Chain A
Amino acid sequence: MRLRGSAGARRLWRRIALFMAILGPGVITANVDNDAGGITTYSQAGARYGFATLWLFIPLALAVIVVQEMANRMGVVSGKGLSDLIRERFGVKWTFYLMLGLLVTNFGNILAEFAGIAAAGEIFGVPRLISVPLAALFVWFIVVRATYRTVEKVFLVAVIFYVSYILAGVLSRPAGGEVLQALTVPRFIPESHYVIMLVALIGTTIAPWMQFYQQAAVVEKNVRVDDYALSRLDTILGGVSVSVVAAFIVIVCAINLHGRGVQIESAGDAARALAPVAGRYAGGLFAFGLLNASMFAASILPLSTAYTICEGFGWESGVDKDFAAAPQFYVLFTALMATGAGLILLPGISLIAVMYWSQVLNGFALPIVLVFMLMLINDRGIMGRHANSMWMNVVTIVLAAALSALGLAAAGLAVFGR
C-alpha cells in the first residue's frame, strides 16, 4: 500500500515504515528488565513510601538510554556482538573470566524469573509444580523452533502486555496533579531504608546482561549505520517506556497499599494485597503482568546467556542451527532453562531470597561490564568516527561511576545491611 499525498507526507510515511522495521532491540531489552525482580522492587517502593520515590524515574530513564545507546551504537557500527568485541580486543583470559562471571550472574536472574512465574501462577491457583515446568517447556519450544524474526514479534507483543500495569494504574484513579509533582520534584526521606530502596530501584533497572542482549539483537537486525538515528529512537523509546511502566507500578501500590501496613515481600504479595483493595481487576491485571514479564525474561535470559558465551568462546551459536552444528549452544541454553526451573521446584526454596541475590550479583557485575564498554566504544579502530565524543565520554564516565558506586552500594547493603 502506498499513501498518496504530498512528498513530505510520503517521506514521513516511509520513515515511519523504516522505523517499524528497525524497532525492536531497544524496546525489548529495556522492557525485559521490568521482570519479576523489578516488579517486586517497584511494588515495595510504592507500598512503603507512596509517591516518594517517583522522582527517580526520570533520571533513571536517562541512565538506561545512555548505557543502552552505547551498546546499540557498537552493534550497529561494528556489526559484532559485545562478547565478540571483548574477545577480539582483550583476548582469551579476560573473556573467559568475564563470561564465567556473567554465567553466574545471569543464572541468578534466570532463577528469579522462574520464581516470578511460580508466584504469578500461585495467585491464579496454579501450583508451581505445574506452572514452572509448563512455562519452561513453552519458552524452550518457542525459542528453539522459531526464527529470530518470529521470536522478536512474540516479544514485542509481550511488551504490549505491560499495558496491563498502566490499566491497573488508571483503575486506581490517581490524582494527576499530585503524581506530576511527585515525578518532577525530588524528595528525600532521611532514613537508611529509603536510601536502600533508591539504590535497589536503580540496580534493578540496569543489568549487565541487557547490554549484551541489545547489542546482539541489533546486530541480528542488520541495522545500517545510515539509519542509526532511528535505531537510537528505538533505544530512547525503550528507556522511556520501561520507566513509565515502572512508575505506574509504584503508583498502583502507592495508592492502594501505602499506609495500610501491608508487608510486601514479593510481587505476588502485591498482587494478592491489591485484589481486595483495588478490586479484582487491578489485582488480576497485576498478576497477569507479573506472569507475562517473568515468561518474557525467562525466554530472553537463557538465550542471551547462551549466545554471549558461545560467541566469546568461538563456538557455533544460533537458533537457526541444529544441535549437531551448535551443540554447546543448545546444551547451555537447555541446561540454564532446566536447572533454573528445576531449582525453583525444590521444596523450601525462598523465592524472595533468590530474586534478591540475583540483584546483588547484577550490582557487582555491572561496573565491570561498563568499563569494558567504555574502552571499546573509545577504540577508533572499531568505532571509527562513531567513537564517543569528549562530552559523551564525560557524561558516560560520570554515569558509569555513579551507577557502579550505587550498584556496589546496593550489593554491599544487601550483604551487610539486611
Chain B
Amino acid sequence: MSTSQSFAFRYVSELLGRRLVDAEGRTIGRVQDLVASTAERFPVVRGFVIKLADGERRFLPVKGADLRRRKGRGPLRIDDPRLEPLQLESNEFLIRTLLLDKQIVDVQGAKVERVNDVHLLVTDRARIVHVDVGFQGFLRRLGVEGEVRRLAHALRVPLKEQLIGWQYVQPLGVQQEPGKPIRLTVRLAEMGRLHPGELADILEDLSKDERNSIVRSLGPEAVADVLEEAEEDVQAAVISQLEPSVAADILEEMDPGEAADILTSLPEAHSEEIIAEVEPDERAQLEQLIEYEEKTAAALMTPEFVAIAPEATAREALEEVRRLAPEIESIYYAYVLDGQRKLMGVTTLRSLLVAAPERPVEEIMETRLVSVRPEADLREVAEVFQKYSFLGCPVLDADGRMMGVVLIKHAVDDLLPCFRREARG
C-alpha cells in the first residue's frame, strides 16, 4: 500500500461499477458515474454518482476516498460517506454520460474519435488529463487488456496508447432543453483554431444534432467560411438540417454563387423555405442565380466583382477596390463598365498600382477582351482559362452587359475533367 505516493494515473473504467464501502466495510452502493467540474482547465472530479441497493441515485463527494490506492476491482473505501441528492451545477458534467463511448473532436488531430476511456491524474484531487481513443482502451473496457498485452508482447507486436490531451478535446454531448436551441454541454475555445477546411471534414463525420450545435456556437460568418471549404454533399447536409432562418443567415455570408449552388442541390420545397428568410436584396440575386442551368458559365459565376467607371482615376479605382475587398472574393481584376454596364475593358490590380494616380483607367485598361456568354458550357470556360491563364473570366449577356465573373477557384472542381480531357486530346 502506498498512500505516501504523491500522484498516480487512473482510468475511469477502473472506477465505474466498483462497490463503495464505509470504514466498517458496509456496502454503500456502486459507482455509476463521476461528476467533474469545468471550473479549472483540467476538470476536477468532484464526486461519485452512486447507485444504492434500492436503485436510487445519490451524489457522494470524492473527499475521503483515496483514488491513488491501487486495489484492482475490489471495493473502494470511503471513510465518512455523506450522501447528497444528485444535482449538477451549471459548470459540472457527468464523465461517463458525456464522454464514455461518445464521439469527441480531437482538435489537434482535426479528427472525430470515439472515447474508449478517460484518463485521470490523481494527486490530492483527481483531474481529467486525457481521453483514451486507442485499441488498448477498448480492450481494457472488454476486460482483456492484460491478456492481449501479454500476447502482443510475446508476438513482439507493439500496442500503442492513443491518448488525447484534454485541452484538445471538444466533447460533443448535446443539451436539448425544450424550446431552446440545442447547444454543446461543454464548450472549449479550441474549436475556433481549426482551419475551415478541417472543420468541414469534421462536420461531415458528425451526427445531425452535434453538427447543428457546433454550427450554432460558431456563428454564421465562421460557418460560411467552413462551408465554402466543404464538399457539396456536406454543404447540403449542414444547410438542410438547420432551421430556415439560421440557414439563410449563413448563406447571406457566403459567396452568392456558392450559396446558389447549395440551394440548387436541395429539394425545391426546402430551398424555397430558406430563400424566403434571406434579406430581400440578396434574395433577388440568389433567385436569379438558381434559375441558371447547372454546369454553365452563368451557374459557375459570382455576380460580385469590382466595377469601375471609365473616367475614374487609378487612385479612385484603388479606393474602390479597397472598399469592396472585404466583401468580394476576387479583387485582382477591376472591370471598366460604361453607363449601360457594358464591359469596355479590364485592368489588373497590378496595373492600377503602377499607374500614375491621376491617370484615368480608360487609358490603362486592356481593351482586347476575352469573355463568355452565360450559356457557355464547361468546356468553353475551361478553354478560356487554359488559353489565357486568367484567374477570372467575365460573363456578358447578349448586349455585352457584364453579369458576373467565373473565378477559377470556384470553377476548378467542375472544370478539372475538361482540363484533363484537353490535356489528353
Which chain A residues have a beta carbon within 8 Å of chain B's beta carbons? Answer: 14-15, 17-18, 21-22, 78-80, 84, 87-88, 91-93, 95-96, 147-149, 219, 222, 224, 313-314, 316, 384
* Extra contacts besides A79-B209, A313-B138, A314-B115 (11): CB < 8 Å: A18-B267, A21-B267, A87-B101, A91-B100, A91-B141, A92-B142, A93-B141, A219-B207, A222-B240, A316-B111, A384-B176
Q: Contact: B236 with A17, CB < 8 Å?
A: no
Q: What B residues does A21 contact at CB under 8 A?
A: 267
B115, B207, B241: the one within 8 Å of A224 (CB): B241
Q: Contacts A17-B269, A18-B269, A93-B141: A88 and B233 contacting too (C-beta < 8 A)?
A: no
Q: Which residue of B lies closest to A14 (CB)?
A: B269
Q: Which of B138, B209, B210, B268 contacts A14 (CB 8 A)?
A: B268
A314 engages B141 (CB within 8 Å): no
B28 to chain A, nearest CB (A): 23
Within the assembled complex, what's the spacing in Å between the Cα atoms of A316 and B102?
14
Q: Which residue of B is nearest A22, CB measured? A: B267
Instruction: Give CA–CA (A139, B5) in the complex, Å.
Output: 60
Which residues of chain B come closer than 8 Å to A222, judged between CB atoms?
Answer: 208, 236-237, 240-241
| B415, chain A: closest CB distance, angstroms | 19
Specify which of B101, B141, B176 lies most central, judged by the most chain A CB atoms within 10 Å of its CB: B101
Closest to A88 in B: B101
Interface SS majority for chain A? helix
CB neighbours (8 Å) of A91 from chain B are 100-101, 141
Q: Tell me the nearest residue of chain B to A19, going by C-beta.
A: B267
- How many chain B residues touch A (CB < 8 A): the figure is 29
Quote the shortest CB–CB distance from A153 to chain B (angstroms).
14
Q: Are B138 and A224 in contact (CB under 8 A)?
A: no
User: 8 Å CB contacts to A: which residues of B300-344?
Assistant: none
Partner among A17, A92, A147 whose Cβ is within 8 Å of the Cβ of B101: A92
B interface residue numbers (CB < 8 A to A):
100-103, 111, 113-116, 133, 138, 141-143, 176, 207-211, 233, 236-237, 240-241, 267-270
Tell whether, in the assembled complex, residue B102 and residue A88 are in contact, meaning their CB atoms are under 8 Å apart: yes
Task: Give the Cβ gap from B73 to chain A, nearest Cβ, in Å.
Answer: 15
Closest A residue to B273 using CB positions = A226
Across-interface contacts of B269 in A (CB, < 8 A):
14-15, 17-18
Complexed CA–CA distance, A251 and B268 (Å) = 42
Residues of A within 8 Å of B270, CB to CB, are: 18, 224
Is the beta-carbon distance between B138 and A80 smaller than 8 angstroms?
Answer: no
Residue in B133, B211, B240 whose CB lies within 8 Å of A314: B133
Q: Identify 12 residue pairs between A and B in the complex whose beta-carbon atoms are under 8 Å apart, listed by A's number.
A: A18-B267, A18-B268, A18-B269, A22-B267, A79-B208, A92-B101, A92-B141, A93-B142, A148-B233, A224-B241, A313-B114, A316-B111
Q: Which of B102, B138, B267 contacts A92 (CB 8 A)?
A: B138
Q: Write the chain B residue with the least CB distance to A15.
A: B269
A95–B270 CA distance with the chains assembled, in angstroms:
37
Interface pair B113/A314, CB less than 8 Å apart: yes
Q: Looking at A148, A219, A222, which has the most chain B CB atoms within 10 Å of its CB?
A: A222
A325 and B233 CA atoms in complex are apart in Å by 19
Q: Which 10 A-B pairs have the closest CB atoms?
A: A314-B114, A79-B208, A92-B141, A79-B207, A21-B267, A222-B237, A18-B267, A14-B269, A80-B207, A18-B269
One of A15, A17, A96, A224 near B240 (C-beta < 8 A):
A224
The CA of A22 and the CA of B268, in the complex, are separated in Å by 12
Q: Chain B residues with Cβ under 8 A from A314's Cβ?
A: 103, 113-116, 133, 138
Contacts of A15 in B (CB 8 A): 269
The residues of A that contact B138 with a CB separation of less than 8 Å are 92, 313-314
Within the complex, the shortest CB–CB distance from A319 to chain B, in Å, comes to 12
- Docked complex Cα distance between A17 and B241 (Å): 18
Q: How far is the CA of A21 from the CA of B271 in the complex (A)?
A: 13
Residue of B nearest to A381 (CB): B176
B residues less than 8 Å from A14 (CB atoms): 267-269
Q: How far apart are A73's CB and chain B's nearest CB, in angstroms?
A: 14
Contacts of A92 in B (CB 8 A): 101, 116, 138, 141-142
- A148 contacts across to B, CB distance below 8 A: 233
Contact partners of B116 in chain A: CB under 8 A: 92, 314
Q: For the complex, give the distance between the alpha carbons of A101 and B171 in Å.
A: 31
Residue of B nearest to A20 (CB): B267
